[in-house]
């Protein structure tokens, strides 16, 4: 694990045993994008991307880790930070992408192995809310 500043931030929306991948010209990737050079808060940047790209306001965001990831809309991999998003306001449009369960994540063509492992580990996480 590293605290290296990521070049990109991406969110894994989690709903009832499914994760969301956004559609990008026939390929699928996580919603998110650039972590601007002068930005200071990774979660705030991610929340802005989620609202802009899929119209949801994230309210519960958890850090998951970081690794080199090439998003389908990018021409090369970037060091990226990944965050699971367990709660949000608004509805994700069906046209924005696909909700996948663990089996679908396992067999979806074109997903990098590192992303596949991340998504499966998020799906296998049991979240317990404490107050």
Nearest to 66 by CA among 49, 83, 50: 83
What digits encode the pLDDT tens for the residues 43-79?
A: 999 999 999 999 999 999 999 999 999 999 999 999 9
Query: Residue 16 above 60 pLDDT?
Result: yes
Quickly list H helices, the chain.
Answer: 42-54, 102-107, 113-123
End-to-end CA distance of the chain: 28
pTM exceeds 0.85 for this model = yes
* The architecture CATH gives domain 8-123: Alpha-Beta Complex (3.90)
């Amino acid at each position: 694990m590293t605290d290296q500043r990521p070049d990109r931030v991406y969110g894994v929306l989690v709903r009832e045993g499914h994760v969301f991948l956004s559609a990008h010209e026939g390929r699928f990737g996580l919603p998110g994008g650039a972590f601007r050079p002068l930005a200071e808060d990774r979660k705030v940047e991610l929340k802005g991307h989620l609202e802009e790209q899929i119209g949801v306001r994230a309210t519960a965001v958890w850090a998951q880790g970081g690794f080199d990831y090439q998003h389908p809309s990018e021409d090369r991999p970037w060091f990226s930070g990944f965050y699971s998003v367990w709660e949000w306001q608004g509805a994700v449009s069906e046209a924005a992408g696909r909700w996948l369960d663990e089996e679908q994540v396992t067999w979806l063509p074109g997903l990098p192995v590192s992303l596949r492992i991340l998504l499966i580990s998020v799906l296998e996480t049991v979240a317990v809310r404490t107050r």
